[in-house]
Structure 1
Amino acid sequence: MIDLDDIDRHFLRALSRDASLSAGALARQVGINQSVAWRRVKRLRDAGVFAGRRVELDLDALGFTVTVFLGIKLATKGLVSLDDFERAVRAIPEVQIVQHTLGLFDYRLRVVARDLPDFERVLRRRIMTLPGVGNVEANILLSEERLTGPI
């Protein structure tokens, strides 16, 4: 674990909102020299604080207007390996997130679709045919509030 000061935390909040910010822009925000800001960001990167850079896509603009969270309970855990299920579910492009969980469901999936008929097609033809799928519970996303920044 790395020790963070107020400037580090400011940089993390700013970069979590816009990962393309330059060291110069970060430096101006907190009133320090650009080279000092660059060294601080490099230290954070070298310490493994950044998991990567991503482009956040606007799913609505791409035509994906429905997001569904699926809880999946495997029916035959002993007969189907978790690796087989995970490999098969990762091959479905509409599945955005796969989480192996402990509790009521073995897996939670975030699935995007163009509309409800498209989601039904994905559910029937792709998800329900995965190895070992037993019970499935769907929750349709109505709205989402994104909290950015470090914990």
Structure 2
Amino acid sequence: MDDVDRAILAVLEKDGRINNADLAARVGLSPSPCLRRVRRLEDTGVIRGYRALIDPAAVGRSLRVFVGVRLARHARADVAAFERAVLRLPEVVHTHHVTGNFDYLLHVEVADLSAYEDFHANRLAGLPGVAAVTSYVTMKTLPTGPAAR
């Protein structure tokens, strides 16, 4: 990977829908070599995909909660059972296996606090192996990353 590849990635991080001609102009290449580079970055897995960023509030998921989950046991079967179960919950946007006070950090999106209470009590707390759940309700999300610059 060279500086041109990095420039292509920087542009695509900000605008994944940019057409090849505009991308090529922004990184100082002609369209054909630019397209070859993009395809190579895709084929080698550097670019893993393209997706739309959806406004959670617009689809009825305006409450964002980060949830620390501690498991009762860490045997391979217990961990696998928890992971299989948590991946089936549509409210869970991201699941991270972490170090520290929790075993997992979940990013959860729901309509409101009442919906989160129901999710917590009736779905999350009953997952296999869950010993403790700690919730952090998001008050505001600041724009960060390449799109905010």
Is the alpha carbon distance of 1:78 and 1:26 closer, same or farther for their aligned partners in structure 2, counting shifts above 3 Å? closer
Query: Aligned-pair distance for 1:148?
Result: 2.3
Match of 1:64 in 2: 61
| Matched letter for residue 100 of structure 1 | H
Q: TM-score, normalised by structure 2?
A: 0.89
Map residues 54-93 of structure 1 onto 2, 5 A cutoff. Answer: 54-78=51-75, 81-93=78-90
Pick the structure with more helix per residue. Answer: 2
How many residue pairs get aligned? The number is 146
Deviation readout 1:42-75 (Å, 9 max, x if unpaired) = 2222222111222211101112110000001112
Percent of aligned positions that are identical: 36
CA distance in 1, matches of 2:93, 2:102: 18
Is the alpha carbon distance of 1:10 and 1:93 closer, same or farther for their aligned partners in structure 2, counting shifts above 3 Å? same
1:120 and 2:117 aligned: yes
Match of 1:147 in 2: 145
CA distance in 2, matches of 1:86, 1:78: 12
Moved more, 12-21 or 112-121: 12-21
Is the alpha carbon distance of 1:11 and 1:58 closer, same or farther for their aligned partners in structure 2, counting shifts above 3 Å? same
CA distance in 1, matches of 2:49, 2:81: 27
The alignment partner of 1:77 has SS state of coil
Q: Identify which of 32, 36, 45 aligns with 1:35.
A: 32
| Matched letter for residue 77 of structure 1 | H
Query: Aligned-pair distance for 1:143?
Result: 2.1
Is the alpha carbon distance of 1:128 and 1:20 closer, same or farther for their aligned partners in structure 2, counting shifts above 3 Å? same
CA distance in 2, matches of 1:36, 1:16: 19
CA distance in 2, matches of 1:78, 1:11: 43
CA distance in 1, matches of 2:116, 2:2: 43
Q: TM-score, normalised by structure 1?
A: 0.88
CA distance in 2, matches of 1:146, 1:125: 33
1:24 and 2:21 aligned: yes
| Matched letter for residue 18 of structure 1 | D
Match of 2:129 in 1: 132
